[in-house]
Amino acid sequence: MSQDGPLILLVEDEPQLRRYLRVTLTPHGYRLLEAVNAKEGELMAASHHPDLILMDLGLPDLDGLVLTRKLREWCTTPIIVVSARGQEQDKIQALDEGADDYLTKPFGSGELLARIRVALRHRNDPAAAPAPVFQLGDWRIDQARREVSVSGRQVHLTPNEYKLLTTLVKHAGMVLTHHQLLKEVWGSVQGAQPHYLRVYMAQLRQKLEVDPARPRHLITEPGVGYRLRTE
């Protein structure tokens, strides 16, 4: 095991899931710390300063949401929450409280590794200094010149659409809740009607995606928000 491998803190009470994660993540060079409940998790986060925290929302002693809030009071470590299907509200709340991404049980290893990669990338490359030119598949987004092109063809975006796209780019690979997007693009949630977001996303898809109905990059996370998929 490489000493330089990122340290991941697992806060998970189910032993099978812990085993699965251990078995999956270790071969990819990640070091693992395991906590079986929220209290342990908090202590370990404080004492070991992990690079990433994988947290189950359904912990026995404390609601995952509350733990997220508590952690965010003092640490900026990326947090990925794990929850079951049908608990969109919990996910949204966790994301709004400061979690960076989420995974829905049961998840495949591909998804798991992708999310971890994205989260770590953002940590190591804080959004403070983004690359001026962002490339994704056929897309080319030049933030310095405010130009967007698909397969070389320039696409005209309205200011709001552009803002929306760049916000997604800023958090490329990670999910953003409706709330977060509205705040970033429109400033306040009150300033805009929530459905504006849908409309603009639809417009972006129209303009940028080959098949707007089956987007490759502008992914909808049903009930939660949107994600710019990078892999």
Q: Which residues bind another protein (CB under 8 A)?
A: 85-86, 88-89, 106, 158-160, 192-196, 198-202, 205-206, 211-215, 219-223
Q: Under a CB-based contact definition with an 8 Å cutoff, are residues 5 and 26 in contact?
A: no
- Please report how close the Cβ of residue 79 comes to another protein at its closest, in angstroms: 23
Q: What does each C-alpha distance from 32 to 16, 25, 224 come to in angstroms?
A: 15, 8, 29
Strands (E), the chain: 7-11, 31-35, 52-56, 79-83, 101-104, 133-136, 139-142, 147-150, 153-155, 175-177, 218-221, 225-228
| CB closer to another protein out of 62 and 192 | 192
- Please report how close the Cβ of residue 143 comes to another protein at its closest, in angstroms: 19
Neighbours of 82 (CB within 10 A): 23
- Please report how close the Cβ of residue 56 comes to another protein at its closest, in angstroms: 18
Q: How far apart are CA 181 and CA 162, in angstroms?
A: 13
- Please report how close the Cβ of residue 199 comes to another protein at its closest, in angstroms: 6
| CB closer to another protein out of 60 and 223 | 223
| CB closer to another protein out of 78 and 215 | 215
| CB closer to another protein out of 37 and 203 | 203
